[in-house]
């Protein structure tokens, strides 16, 4: 199924709705309801397990939040737009979609933003949240030495992309976040940008009671020595694309056909396996509920760390 992204350049579409801070991850059926899930008792309050994050109490229910942007005491639509912090959110993570669709959409958005820059227009930001159909991708400078199969006869579709980094796998159960943003509205520093993406994952994991960590000299996030999130980005005129991939309920077996991210001595893991392990090996978690809950946490962490105001596109 192709991604049904809105087309067109310029300002956000008329149907784009500003939401209250912290309520961005709610699916249409969940909005206005008390939807905090226990995930079998594994969740903790935000900040308890996330080292270095602010000590803030996690809301008891998402439904308690005011859904009105203006009454939330934050920026108006006009202020968010002129500050460059209005972010059009396209959440297509409810089902796997082809890698090429999201890739082409990112390139279209980058081209559109470059054109807007030439016209002297203030840019809005864009954020795509997806799952992918199973695929392997290579970075711009990746070696094929990390493919444990014949490049001419891959077990899954194989793409060489513009992003940094080595080979990785994308597939169902993995949440992929693609920010297409003008770093001039944030920090013109790709190192800062990648570290902030790592912190998005670390805070997300912390909200689930898991302690994510960085490894010196490497990009990504690890838990218990295994990689749970990969990051590979590209920027054109300070406009970013590509992004981060977090294994949630991912089937990890396709990683056995590659050396993930070119790192020989470290394995991969998923949020599902980590939570199941924390419960003594029990794997009775609801995978669909877990995926939705992690998507909510991921979007909220991104919103907090980058200081954006989401504009939702149905």
Of 4-13, 154-163, 285-294, the one with minimum mean pLDDT is 4-13
The set of catalytic residues is 261
Cα separation, 45 vs 9, whole angstroms: 40
Q: 100 lies in a domain?
A: no
Q: 236 lies in a domain?
A: yes
**Three-state DSSP class for residue 103:** helix
Per the CB < 8 A criterion, the answer to whether 237 and 279 are in contact is: no
Domain harbouring 164, CATH code: 3.30.930.10
Domain of 129, in residue numbers: 17-91+107-312
Residues 266-295, mean pLDDT to the nearest whole number: 87
Alpha-helical segments (H) within 119-180: none
Q: 10 lies in a domain?
A: no
Residue 170, strand partner residues: 135
Residues 297-307, mean pLDDT to the nearest whole number: 98
Average model confidence (pLDDT) across the chain: 80
Q: With a threshold of 0.75, does the pTM exceed it?
A: yes
Q: 96 lies in a domain?
A: no
Q: 308 lies in a domain?
A: yes
Residue 113, strand partner residues: none
Q: 246 lies in a domain?
A: yes
Q: 11 lies in a domain?
A: no
pLDDT of residue 277: 82
% of the chain residues with pLDDT over 90: 62
Domain count, the chain: 1
Going by C-beta distance under 8 Å and a sequence separation of 6 or more, which residues neighbour residue 206? 44, 46, 47, 48, 49, 50, 51, 53, 212
Sign of CA dihedral 69, 126, 210, 133: positive
Per the CB < 8 A criterion, the answer to whether 193 and 244 are in contact is: no
Sheet holding 168-170, edge to edge: 158-160, 135-138, 168-170
Cα separation, 160 vs 201, whole angstroms: 25
Q: 4 lies in a domain?
A: no
């Amino acid at each position: 199924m192709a991604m049904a992204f809105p087309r067109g350049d310029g300002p956000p579409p008329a149907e784009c709705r500003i939401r209250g801070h912290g309520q961005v991850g709610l699916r249409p059926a969940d909005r206005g309801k008390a939807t905090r899930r226990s995930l079998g008792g594994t969740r903790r309050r935000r900040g308890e397990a996330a080292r270095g994050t602010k000590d803030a109490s996690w809301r008891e229910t998402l439904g308690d939040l005011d859904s009105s942007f203006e009454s939330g005491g934050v920026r108006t639509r006009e202020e968010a737009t002129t500050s460059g912090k209005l972010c059009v959110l396209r959440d297509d993570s409810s089902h796997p979609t082809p890698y090429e669709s999201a890739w082409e959409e990112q390139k279209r958005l980058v081209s559109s933003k470059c054109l807007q820059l030439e016209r002297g227009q203030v840019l809005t930001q864009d954020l795509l949240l997806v799952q992918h159909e199973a695929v392997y991708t290579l970075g711009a400078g990746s070696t094929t030495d990390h493919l444990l199969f014949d490049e001419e006869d891959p077990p899954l579709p194989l793409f060489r992309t513009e992003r940094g980094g080595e080979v990785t796998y994308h597939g169902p159960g993995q949440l992929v976040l693609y920010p297409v943003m003008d770093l001039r509205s944030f920090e013109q520093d790709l190192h800062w940008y990648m570290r902030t993406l790592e912190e998005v994952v670390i805070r997300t994991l912390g909200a689930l009671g898991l302690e994510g960590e960085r490894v010196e000299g490497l990009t990504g996030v690890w838990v218990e020595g295994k990689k749970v999130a990969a990051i590979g980005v590209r920027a054109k005129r300070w406009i970013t694309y590509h992004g981060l991939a977090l294994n949630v309920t991912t089937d990890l077996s396709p990683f056995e056909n590659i050396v993930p991210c070119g790192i020989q001595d470290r394995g991969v893991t998923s949020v599902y396996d980590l939570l199941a392990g924390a419960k003594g090996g029990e794997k009775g978690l609801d995978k669909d509920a877990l995926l939705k809950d992690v998507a909510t946490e991921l979007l909220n962490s991104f919103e907090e760390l980058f200081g954006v105001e989401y504009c939702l596109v149905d």
